[in-house]
Structures are given as C-alpha cells and as structure tokens.
Chain A
C-alpha cells in the first residue's frame, strides 16, 4: 500500500540519492582545484581540462535537478533554505555560473579575460563549490537559525507576511562559524580531489600525470578521511533533532544519529559498505601501481555513503533541516513535503530515472572506449 508517509520517505530517498550522485560527480570540481598543482606543464593542464570538460555538464545538471527536485518534493525546504541561507547558496551558484563558461571560453581567441582568468574561475568553483556544499549539507545535522510560521501570510505573524524567516543577518554565512560544518566542508573538498585523482588514473593515457595522480590520491585521501571521521564521530555523539511520531513535537535527543544507525541496521550496513568501498578504491590505487579501477569503487562508495548519511538525517522520526533557535520550526519530511497528489505524480516521473541512467551509461561508454591522450584532443573535433 502506497501511503503518503511512504511517498515522503521515497522522495527523501530520491533526494538522498541525488545528493550522493552529486557528491560523486563533484570529482569534476576536485579536478579543477588541482589544475595548478597536479599539472606542471601547459599541455598537461590542457589534458586535465579536457578530461574534466567532457564530464562537467553531468555535475551541473545534477545540481540543477537537485534544486528542482527539492522544490517539487519538499517545497518548504526550497523556500526556507534558498530564501534564508541566501548568501551561502548565492556564492555557491556564482561559482557554478563561472564554471559553465570557463571550459568553452578559456582557449578561444577573443575571450577578453585570457585563459588564466577562466582557469581561476575553475579553481574557485573547484574549491568553493565543494566546500560550501559540504558546509550546507552539514547544517542538516547541526541546524540553522530560522523560524517558520505558515499563518504569517494571513497576517498572524509579528513581522510581515513571509512564512520562512532567517534570523541571522549573515544569511547562511554564519554556518561557516560552526566547526562541525567546516569539517564536512573540508571533507567534501578533499573527497572531490581524491575522486578526481582516481578519475585521472583511470582515464588518462599519460604516464607522468598518472603517476602523480596516484600520489595525489593519498595526499587528498588522508585529509579527507581525517575530516570525515571527525565530522562523523562528532555527529554520532552529538545531540540530534528528534520528532515525536505522535505529537510531532521536535526535541533534542542525545546521540540521535547514532540511534538512527542502530535502529535502521540496513542503512548502517550500506553506510559501512560504502565507506569500505571508498577506502578500498583509495588505498588500492595508491599502493598498487597497476590498479586503475579505484574510481569505480570510490565513486560507487561515495554515492552509497552520502545517500545513507542523508537518510539518517531525515528518516526514523528525525527533523532533516532543523532550526536551532526554534525547534518547532524545524523541517520534517511530514511538514515540508508536497501533497500526496504531487508526490504521486512525481513518483511516476521518477520511473524515468533508470532510463536516463541507461542512456547516460551508453553515452559515457561511447565516449570512453578510448583513453584520453594528447592526440585525441586534436582528433575529436572539439577541444577546450
């Protein structure tokens, strides 16, 4: 029986999965942040740019779809977070605006600013795009400063008609002052760089870059692991935002997220499996010079790990977007979702997803039959 509650959880799963895919695809941003350090010569840089430039649109499209799907499934999150954490999102989006033109424009004559500026844009997107996304996702666990009053629009509020009101004048930038948020921000940044290194090992036909990428897997994998573990252990031991299933009252519960893992053992099992896959991909690539498939393990592991982490944030009677200043304003799957009708209609649309994944695999495969080396840049007919 498909109940309203089931649909809300189904859509939270879809959003979590999209989040997982997005974090995996941030390897493009990770690679962009290493153009200056991994590549030493101009032709090496060009090869890296082109290897990433064939994938950036997937990351971009996933981010856009993430926004649209959140709007359709949990509109109160869309309205509260985007309209409230205004600057955190705006800066993130600006980075992506700059990225979108940088591949195509950087080596074209007449681009006004010169290739250096476009590569700086790519770097900016690589660092800020990953870091800020990590920080914003961390607030799903640490909370933000907002209030929600649905009656405001009918004049029941004390400060105007707006339903969701951010109470911190920094509009999202205050989340940078929380150490736990920063930990996840850095974890995502280093994860993206690790995944990029693994991707280069897999994709490039270029000995020097491949060798260097293997070293970068370790240089970035270890800090990732450190930041991630600190965030994880801290979150598991910290208070979490629990929702009473009967009264719907939100309260702080000690070790809530740890309880969620324990009470949803299948989530824990997949989470551990995901983490193990990421670690296997990292260490096997770093220490086995002939192993090139690390990206597949670490990539799939990333998708699973992030998906499970987001499930822990929202399932099992948990407020997924908590308000730290007014617990009862916290967003839960129940109080923030679309109607049963819309979720049902959107669920039908979600049946297209396997079809979409299938054609992406086809396209990815068609373009990746051959590894990418310097010769292909000139013979493929389109290069950055």
Chain B
C-alpha cells in the first residue's frame, strides 16, 4: 500500500471516530432522559399530581432538543460503513448489514412514530396512550442500541459465520449466535446502563443548579430523586457489566486487555493497576524499558477478573506477539510471525481458488479451499507487516480505561451521598453537594466517551478481530476527498453542538414554568 492510501485510511478512520464520537454525546442523554421522563410520567398518571406532569414536560422539552441533534449525527453512521469502509461492507455485509436493517425496521420506526405522539399528543390522545408512547420511545431507543451493539460486538468477536470463497465474503450461518453472543449482550447492557448513568447525572446536575439558584425547589427535588435512583442503578450495573465485558475482552481480545492495563510482560496472578503513570520512554514492546513510572496495583485482581482464577496467566503485549504461552484451552499460543505465515497462506489460497474456478479446474480449487479453511482463522494477519502492527495505542487505551473506571466509582459514591441527603431532607440546603452535582455533568459524558475509546482504539488494528485489518477495509476514495468531508463534518457538527448547548442552557434558565399549558381536554 502506498503512503497516500494509508493517509486516506487514517482520515477515514478519523472521520468515522469523529462522527461516532459526536453521535455518542447525544445518544446516552436520549436514552437516559427517556427513561427518567417515562418514570416521571408514570408517577403523574398514577397520582394525577399536575406537578409531576409539569416536571415530565420540562424534561421532555430538553429531550426534544437533544433528540434532534442525535438523529442528525446518526444518519451519517448508517451510510458511513459504505462510504468509508466499502471493502468491509462486502466482506462481512452478509452478517453486519442485518442488525443495521433490523435496527431501522424495528427500533427507529417505533421511536420516530411514538416520539411524535409524545411531543404533540398531550391534547390529542388519552393519558394512558401518551404514557405508553413515552415508554415506547424509551423501548425504541433501547432496541436501537441493542442492534447496533450486536453489530459492533460481532466485529470484536466474529461468530456464527463461514467464509465463502466463491462470493469472497463471510456469510452468516447462525443468526442467534450473532445476536446472543456473550460479547453482544455484555456490550449492550454496559452501553445501556451508561446511558441511564449519563441521563441521571445530567438531570441531577441541572436540578442541582436550580437548587443553587433557589428556583423551582420542589421540581428540582422531584427530578433529583428519580435521577439519583436511576443513576445509582446505572452506575452499579456499569460496574457489574464492566466486569463481564473485561472477562470477554480477556478471552477474545487479549491484546486489548494488555493495552488497557499497559501490560507488556505477561504473568501469573497478575495485579490490576488501580492507578498508574506510563513511561513515555517506552518505545518498543520488547525494549526492556519499564512501562510505568509509577503504579498502584491490586494484587491478582487482573487474573481474577480476566480468567476467574487468582493465579491465571495474563499474557502481555510481548507474549501475544511472540507466542509460546499456554492458552486457557490448553493449546500453545502462536506467535505473530506464525500467524502471519498462515494468514498469507490463506490469502494466497483464496487467490488460487479464484483462478482455479475461473479456469474450471475444480479439483485444484478444492485443494486451495482446504488450505484456505485450515488457515482462515489467521486471514487478517496476512495483511500485516510486523508484530508491532498488532499493538493498539497503549497510552490512549490505558488512560481512557482508568479514567473511566475512576469516574464510575466517583458517581456511585456521589449518588449514594445524594440519596442519603434526600432521605434526610437536607438536599435543598446542602450547597456543596449541589455544586458537585452541577460540575459532575461533564464527567459522565467524558466517561461515556472514554468507554468507547477503550473499546475502539483498543481493538486496533482490527475491523474484524483477526480476520480483517482496518487498512484492508477502506473504500477507494482518495485522502483529499475524505479530508474535505472530514472538515465539513467537523464544522457542521461543532456548529450544531454549540447551537444545541446554548438552546439547552436558555431553556433550562427559563425553567419549567415557562411551558405553554397542555392538558387532556382533547379526550
């Protein structure tokens, strides 16, 4: 590959990261707020208390502003697999396309249809029909998250497929293996609880601001109560599902785990780095420079989390490249070089198969197919050059992971404290806690972004784990074109984000009483 196309690949990668990152600012708030609104409206319908209705409608207003920009940033993603990753789209489209289509058919229509009733239906449908619509918006958004995470999980843990050398692509052979893979449901739960967490911290923070300003105290307390419960559940479940995700990563993407922990030399009974500073002098994976300047480690915890065994061997970056250690299934790990040879064999066998079929040499073709199948598990390694190509960006992955965990722990403590103060009825006059609530809003968004950085930077160089590296996934579009669209995206999304933020701030400053009246006189 020439330099130009490598640059194009990196721009395509950057552009995808940019759009996905922007989209993920708004999605968690959409899902989290939808849940909180649905709970509030349920209380209103049950109690008939108009104040809960007013509270619900205020958050609905905020939801609407956020929902619009979430949709705006999302449409690009549906098409970007094709625009940026055309090879990928054919090579695995037979599997990857299905969850995307199902997301559209089952989730998006549900969301789009009932969101219009939620917005405009206060006077046009019954109370219960309106409440059902709000819950269906939450359901639609959650289902959408499910299907897109099924797709994402499949890239990290390809399963339920078989390579077809005639069509030159992977084809689905087991729908349920793809849909219900352990990586998929762990990712789904982890991502959805992160949405609850972000929504809750946002509502808690805005409520904290009202309390600080001594405005709408009753509304603020109502809101922060629901937010704290949702937030606590969200963050605790994040810890639980995070553990599940880490276990899956250890099994399926050991290099990602090594990068998350900055672990270069594997060991038995490996400890988990609770806090650490990486050594910038570490340039090569095998240069014997200590990867840390400082670290605080919890003994044996990494082995326990990764393999459910205090003394299990956790391979480091160097082990994964050089091989030779015993895998959990008892076999010996292959080195990068060995896998590269097998990958090249598989690629060559595919080329030979294609030529043999073209010439009608079916017996030859069958031989090549056998070689291809024997080596297919290493297919992607054939495109890589050196062992170092296998290593994701360690500092980004390491710091993102650790910062995310620290923020998560902080929020568990924060919501516990808030719930205690609410229980003691001291929330409305505890100013320091109101400040903490307000200033914690960006932290939850940050943690949520960091989670995706760990997942996506940590799995480089693979688009499909072991099967397809990013370089081979890209479209044949030159760097110049992609840079132009990258700049366009950056300008448009940033402009819209600023507009969204200022609109939201204005709306929050106006407060819940500014809303026009709406009652159920229509029914």
A interface residues with partner B (beta carbon < 8 Å): 54, 57-58, 60-61, 63-65, 67-69, 71-73, 75-76, 78-84, 86-87, 89-90, 93-94, 96-101, 103-105, 108-113, 150-151, 153-156, 159-166, 171, 338-339, 341-342, 345-346, 349-350, 352-353, 356, 359-360, 363, 366-367, 369-370, 378-383
Q: Which A residues lie within 8 Å of B169 (CB)?
A: 75, 150
> Are A78 and B97 in contact (CB-based, < 8 A)?
yes
> Are B72 and A341 in contact (CB-based, < 8 A)?
no
> Are B117 and A93 in contact (CB-based, < 8 A)?
no
Residues B339-363 near A (CB distance < 8 A): 347-348, 350-351, 354-355
> Are A163 and B64 in contact (CB-based, < 8 A)?
no
> Are B474 and A153 in contact (CB-based, < 8 A)?
no
Determine how close the nearest CB of chain B comes to the CB of A104; give it in whole angstroms: 4
> Are A380 and B105 in contact (CB-based, < 8 A)?
no
Q: Which A residues lie within 8 Å of B85 (CB)?
A: 83
Given contacts A72-B98, A367-B124, contact A82 B64 (CB under 8 A): no
> Are B124 and A83 in contact (CB-based, < 8 A)?
no
* Separation of A79 and B106 alpha carbons in the complex (Å): 23
How many B residues touch A, CB cutoff 8 Å? 99
Determine how close the nearest CB of chain A comes to the CB of B521; give it in whole angstroms: 9
> Are A83 and B68 in contact (CB-based, < 8 A)?
no
Residues B63-117 near A (CB distance < 8 A): 64-65, 67-69, 71-76, 78-79, 81-91, 93-98, 100-106, 108-117
Determine how close the nearest CB of chain B comes to the CB of A116; give it in whole angstroms: 14
* Residue from the set A80, A89, A150, A349 with the largest chain B CB neighbour count within 10 Å: A150
B254 within 8 A of A: no
Which of chain B's residues has its CB closest to A166's CB?
A: B476
Given contacts A64-B75, A341-B172, contact A379 B97 (CB under 8 A): no
Binding site secondary structure of chain A: helix
Which of chain B's residues has its CB closest to A368's CB?
A: B124
Contact of B516 among A80, A163, A381 (CB under 8 A): A381
Given known contacts A68-B100, A71-B97, A164-B476, what 14 new A-B pairs fall within 8 Å (CB)?
A58-B112, A60-B112, A64-B78, A79-B88, A81-B82, A82-B82, A82-B83, A83-B84, A104-B67, A104-B68, A341-B173, A346-B101, A356-B110, A366-B125
Contact of A154 among B67, B96, B168 (CB under 8 A): B168
* Separation of A54 and B81 alpha carbons in the complex (Å): 30
Which of chain A's residues has its CB closest to B176's CB?
A: A345
Contact of A352 among B105, B115, B164, B472 (CB under 8 A): B105
* Separation of A55 and B340 alpha carbons in the complex (Å): 53
Which of chain A's residues has its CB closest to B352's CB?
A: A154
* Separation of A120 and B501 alpha carbons in the complex (Å): 21
Contact of A338 among B97, B108, B350 (CB under 8 A): B97
Which of B189-197, B241-249, B301-309, B491-499 interfaces with chain A?
A: B491-499
Which of chain B's residues has its CB closest to A156's CB?
A: B351
> Are A339 and B84 in contact (CB-based, < 8 A)?
no
Residues B114-134 near A (CB distance < 8 A): 114-117, 119-125, 129
> Are B117 and A83 in contact (CB-based, < 8 A)?
no
